[in-house]
């Protein structure tokens, strides 16, 4: 009995080893590794896309993904970036402490109170200085991976 069990164990181990080496031989082709369907050696041209071209004051805003989400930038920003220590064009239009919470169509949405250390003294929270860290302009492109997120209903 004991001998039989040992033989069975040896057999199953041998089979497992064989299965392992068969799996090793089945290599993954280099065009099947990532999202790109070309060889990993190839440098494919990036897909061309264009940001929305409307300048500020067109009166357009984009839907919010969910409550509390940073609103997407609805206008062109190419003339307003990069944001540097010396220059931040975004605050030039959006920093209006007297207007917090008072949106007007076609006017720069005032920065919310959360973006200030103190609204009364007009002290911006420097953690919010680089606006494009959270607010991004939008382009119509095919997503690399589809996503079923429904957003705000």
Question: Contact with ligand HEC (CB under 6 A): which of 20, 46, 68, 150?
Answer: 68
How far apart CA 44 and CA 73 sit, in angstroms, is 29
Stretch 126-145 residues interacting with ligand HEC (CB under 6 A) = 128-135
Tell me which stretch binds ligand HEC (CB under 6 A): 8-16, 21-29, 37-45, 77-85.
77-85
d(CA 81, CA 9): 68
CA-based Rg of the chain, rounded to a whole angstrom? Answer: 28
Tell me which residue of 89, 86, 76, 79 sits closest to 131, measured CA to CA.
89
Contact partners, residue 40, CB within 8 Å, separation at least 6: 30, 31, 33, 34
List all residues 6 or more positions away from 152 whose beta carbon is below 8 Å from its beta carbon: 63, 64, 65, 66, 67, 69
From the CB of 141, what's the least distance to ligand HEC, in Å? Answer: 19
How many residues of this chain interact with ligand HEC, rule: CB under 6 A? 37
109 touches ligand HEC by CB under 6 A: yes
Is 136:51 a contact under the CB 8 Å cutoff?
no
Site membership for ligand HEC, residue 115 (CB under 6 A): yes
Binding mask 28-57 for ligand HEC (x = CB under 6 A): ----------------------------xx
- Residue 51 or 146 having the CB closest to ligand HEC: 51
Contact range with ligand HEC by CB under 6 A, out of 2-10, 14-22, 34-42, 69-77: 69-77
CA gap 94, 91 in Å, rounded: 5
Rule CB under 6 A: which residues touch ligand HEC? 56-61, 68, 70-71, 73-75, 77, 80-81, 89-94, 106-109, 111-112, 114-115, 128-135
């Amino acid at each position: 009995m004991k001998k039989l069990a040992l033989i069975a164990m040896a057999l199953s181990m041998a089979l497992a080893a064989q299965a392992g080496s068969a799996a090793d031989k089945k290599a993954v082709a280099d065009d099947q590794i990532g999202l790109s369907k070309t060889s990993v050696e190839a440098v494919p041209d990036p897909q061309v896309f264009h940001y929305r071209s409307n300048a500020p004051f067109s009166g357009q805003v984009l839907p919010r993904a969910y409550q509390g989400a940073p609103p997407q930038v609805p206008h062109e920003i190419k003339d307003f970036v990069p944001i540097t220590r010396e220059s931040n064009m975004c605050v030039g239009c959006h920093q209006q402490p007297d207007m917090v919470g008072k949106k007007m169509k076609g006017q720069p949405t005032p920065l919310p109170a959360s973006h200030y250390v103190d609204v009364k003294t007009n002290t911006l929270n420097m953690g919010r200085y680089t606006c494009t860290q959270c607010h991004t302009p939008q382009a119509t492109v095919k997503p690399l991976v589809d996503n079923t997120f429904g957003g705000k209903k």
